[in-house]
Structure formats: C-alpha cells, structure tokens
Amino acid sequence: MTTAAAGGADEALPADKQPSGGTSVPAPREPVSGKPSGPQDTGRSRRSVTGTRRVIAALFLLPALVLLGALVVYPIVYSVYRSFFDQAGTGFAGFDNYKALFTDDTIRTAVKNNAIWVVFAPTVATALGLIFAVLTERIRWGTAFKLIVFMPMAISMLAAGIIFRLVYDQAPERGVANAVWVGVHDTFAESAGFPKAHPLPVHPLKAAGGGSFVTKVPVRAGQPVQLPLVGVLPAKMPTDAKPARAPQTGGDGKITGTAWLDFTKGGGGKPNVIDTTELGLKGIKVEAVKDGKVVASATAGADGVFTLPASADGAELRLPASNFKEPYNGVEWLGPSFVTPGIIGSYVWMWAGFAMVLIAAGLAGLPRELLEAARVDGANEWQVFRRITVPMLAPVLAVVLVTLMINVLKVFDLVFIIAPGSSQDDANVLALQLYRSSFGTDADLGIGSAIAVLLLLLVVPVMLFNIRRIRKEGRR
C-alpha cells in the first residue's frame, strides 16, 4: 500500500518536482483505444517505402524489358505481319502462305519429319538416360561412365554433324557404321571375289544372262579348258594368288582347266595365253551345266587350276554370277530411307547424356527406404523399377521430355550438315526449310515467316504444359 501510494504521488507531481536519483520516470500511458500514436505518419511511411521499391524494381527491369521487346516480341509480331504478304513483301497474300505449308511437297515432308523427330528423338533419349542413370548406380565406375556419356554435350552441333557425316560414310574403309556392319555381314555371308570381272570378245567365254558367263563350246576330257577374264581390280585380287599355270591332263576322263586374269602389267601379254606374270583367280567357282542342270562344280586354286569329274564331259562350263556381284558395302545410311533415323541417332548420341544427368539427380533424391521396403516385401528389381522408381521420377522425366521436345522442334545444324545434297529434301525439317525459304537467291520471306509462325504455334502448347507443371510443383 505504501509503495503504491508513493507511486501514485510521484505521478501526480509536476515534472520539476519529480524526485531525483535512480527512480525511473514512468512512460506515458497508451490511449484507452489501444491504437498506436501517430497512425497517419506510419501509414505514409509504409506507402513511401513500397512506392520506392516499385520504382527501383521497374528501373532494374526496364533494360531487360527493352531487350525482350526488341529481341523477342518485335520479331514475333513482325513475322506474323510478314507472313500475310507475298514474296516481294508489297502485295497482301492473305492465308496463301499458310496454305502452301500443307500443299507444297517439300514443306509437307518437313512437317512429317518434324513429327517423327518430336515423337522418337526425345523418347529414345529420355529412355536411354533413364536406363543409364539406373544402371550406373550399381557399378563402381559409374561416375566415369556418366562422364563419357555426357561428354558429347561439350561438342557443338557443327562438330557432331561432321563426326557423324564420317561415321555414316558409305565406304566401309572410311565409315565406321558400315565398317562394323560389313564385318558382321561377312562373318556369316561370303562376299563376291571378283566384282566387275568379264571376258573379252576374243575369249572362249560369252555372257549367259543374269551376270554369268559360259564357254562358247562344250568341253571335252583331255582338252585343257581356258577361262580368262579381265577387269579385276588389283585391290580385289586375292593376296595369296599365285602365277597361273596350265593344268596337267590325264586319261581318267576328268575335265581340267585354268581361270586366270588375262592381263599383264605394263603390256606385252597375249590374249588367251597364260603369261608368266599373270595370276590365277583363286576361289572362283566353276559349274558344269548339261540341259540347264548343274552336274558338277569346282573351285579354282591359288594358281587358277580347277578339276571337274568325268560327268562334266560334254557340258558347258559356267562361271556363275555369284563370282561377279558387287561386294556388300553396308547400308546406305544417308540415302532416302535411312537418313532421318540416322540423324536422329546422332541427336540421341548427344542428348542422352543430358537426360542421364538430370534423371540421376532426381534418382539421388528418392527415399531409399521405400525401395528397400518393396524389396523386403518380395518385389523383384523390375517391379521396383516399374512401380516405384519410374512413378516417383515422373516429374523429372517430364522435365527432360518437354525440354527435348522443344529442342528438336528447332533442330537445324545436324540435318544441314549430315544429310548430303541428294538426300536433304528427304531429311528436311521445318527449321531447315525456314532457312532455305528465307535466304538465298530464290528467297520467299512470306513462306519463311509462315514457317516461323507455325514453329511458334507448335512450341506454345509444350511451353504451356511446362508452365502448368512448374506451377503445380510450386504448390506442393
């Protein structure tokens, strides 16, 4: 009571009568209403700070907005405007340029190829990236493998196009793809020995149709048979071929003969005569034919000598077409049939590493206890992968797939560099056709602008899907 009274007495004293010393002066009481003093000043201060921040933000954004308008908005608006005018840009063409996109055969091929690219290239690259990301988690040298697979991303499209132009070269001695393919083929199928070989008019052979050759007269036992040919390239001659020689004849009724290359380096040889420097056609197949049926066959040795049984007496000798067909040179990768899949293969080689790295990052964030719980419950690795890993990676897979879909819509470099001039129309895509229509001596900027607008319309749905997905992820 005394303390309270003293406090009340002190509050009642005037300011100059307050006691000195350590006694603190009490703060003025808040109004009964509970509102802070000076509300108008505080509100004015807050509005001032907010307004200042908006002005500063606008000043910082202004350069970016100017660049965005100059480099993005203006080109889009002008492309739409220009697409309604003719080639010269002076006459209004209406929708004629857009009609040409679906009536011109070259542009329709580009549209079709773009559809193939959008469906297959992102899907294959994402699938390979998923497989690589999952498998590299189980091996010690997974980091080194990821580095090797991702390394093509460091190569420009130009360099990658040059690399794969060489990989797809038709000649097996230069093209890696055909070198491998021909090696596998020749392991299981015998190649022709003497392509483009043929007899001269003075030789005792004549064409029999289908690429084969037969003797002009039937053969008889005891009379050596001569089967000379020309036109065999030195590179195609067997490396172990020996100088040709005349066969030895016997009285056993067998047919003997020699098949040789009737050509002397440097000249001086005589036709139908075995010269000392002329080589035997080792491995050439000889058939004895009577009444259209093969009664015997033989293969020439290293010196070109062959022997047929007595049943060949009186038959015509035939060199079948299998001796002369062109050797297998692999697949025409850059021909009309395979040029688009071949270029897509080069794209997958570059971008599978990109998909693998993003998917591996998402895979590292998966809760391992779920995977272990599924294994404890009896699920095998395939079931864990299909029912747990893939569904939980769905957001990451969507990011990779959408990114690659946008990327393939503007692919240009690979097609322009890899596809040769003879196959460029078959490999054509919209971005390449945009370049071809907009530049050069026969440029039509109206068609080029229409193609640019079409590409924009194709990208917009993918972008909207991506924006919706990002917003949905942000709400979680």
Which secondary structure element, helix H or strand E, spans residue 56, and what is its range? helix 39-68
Task: For residue 79, give the nearest of 457, 464, 465 by alpha carbon.
Answer: 457
Q: Are 224 and 246 in contact (CB under 8 A)?
A: yes
Beta bridge partners of 198: 230
Q: In what order do the strands lie in the sheet with 225-229?
A: 225-229, 255-261, 305-308
Q: Which two tokens stand for residue 376?
A: 């404890």
Owner of token pair 């035939």 = 318
- Can you tell me the distance from the alpha carbon of 305 to that of 107, in angstroms, rounded to the nearest whole number? 61
Residue 17, pLDDT score:
46
Beta bridge partners of 318: 214, 287
Question: Which segments of 86-135 does DSSP mark as H helices, in order?
Answer: 96-103, 105-135
Residue 473 burial (C-beta neighbours within 10 Å; 0-12, 13-18, 19+):
exposed
- Can you tell me the distance from the alpha carbon of 299 to that of 282, in angstroms, rounded to the nearest whole number? 8
At residue 27's C-alpha, the angle toward residues 24 and 31, to 5°, is 160
Three-state secondary-structure class, residue 252? coil
Residue 137, pLDDT score:
84
Buried b (16+ CB within 10 A) or exposed e, 207-229: ebeeebbbbeeebebeeebbbbb
- Can you tell me the distance from the alpha carbon of 72 to that of 192, in angstroms, rounded to the nearest whole number? 60
Residue 303, pLDDT score:
92
Neighbours of 365 (CB within 10 A): 9
Residue 10, pLDDT score:
45
- Residue 293's identity, in one-letter code, is K
Angle between helices 339-364 and 105-135 (to 10 degrees): 40
Which pTM does this prediction carry?
0.69
Residue 7, pLDDT score:
45
Task: For residue 111, give the nearest of 463, 350, 428 by alpha carbon.
Answer: 428
- How do beta strands 316-319 and 212-215 pair? antiparallel
DSSP per-residue string spanning 17-32: GS--SSPPPPPPPPPT
Beta bridge partners of 227: 259
DSSP per-residue string spanning 389-440: IHHHTHHHHHHHHHHHHHHHHT--HHHHHHS-TTTTTTT--HHHHHHHHHSS
CA 64 to chain CA mean position, Å = 36
Ramachandran class of 378: left when φ > 0, alpha when ψ lies in -120 to 50, beta otherwise: left
Those residues whose C-beta lies under 8 Å from the C-beta of residue 124, and which sit 6 or more positions away, are: 344, 348
Question: Which segments of 193-243 does DSSP mark as H helices, in order?
Answer: none
Task: For residue 227, give the nearest of 194, 193, 274, 260 by alpha carbon.
Answer: 260
Residue 22, pLDDT score:
46
Task: For residue 276, give the nearest of 259, 292, 264 by alpha carbon.
Answer: 264
At residue 42's C-alpha, the angle toward residues 40 and 47, to 5°, is 95
- Can you tell me the distance from the alpha carbon of 143 to that of 348, in angstroms, rounded to the nearest whole number? 20
Task: For residue 167, give the nearest of 330, 328, 326, 327 by alpha carbon.
Answer: 330
Task: For residue 360, give the nearest of 137, 159, 198 by alpha carbon.
Answer: 137
In this structure, what are the phi and psi dihedrals at residue 376, rounded to the nearest 5 degrees?
Answer: -65, -35
Neighbours of 48 (CB within 10 A): 10
- Can you tell me the distance from the alpha carbon of 239 to that of 55, in angstroms, rounded to the nearest whole number? 85
- Residue 198's identity, in one-letter code, is H
- pLDDT (tens, 9 = 90+) of the chain, 476 residues, equals 444 444 444 444 454 444 444 444 455 555 544 444 444 544 444 454 555 688 888 889 999 999 999 998 999 999 999 999 988 888 898 898 899 888 888 889 999 999 999 999 999 999 999 999 998 888 888 888 989 999 998 889 899 999 999 999 988 888 999 999 888 887 776 665 788 889 999 999 999 888 899 999 999 988 899 999 998 877 778 888 899 998 887 667 899 999 999 988 877 778 888 988 899 999 899 999 998 899 999 999 999 999 999 899 999 999 998 888 777 788 899 999 899 999 999 999 999 999 999 999 999 888 888 888 988 988 888 999 999 999 999 989 998 999 999 999 989 999 999 999 888 899 999 999 999 888 876 788 899 999 999 999 988 888 888 888 878 777 76
- HSE-CB at 226 with a 13 A cutoff on CA atoms is 17
Question: How far, in Å, are 13, 36, 37, 313 from residue 26 at the CA level?
Answer: 12, 18, 17, 140
Owner of token pair 């300011």 = 15
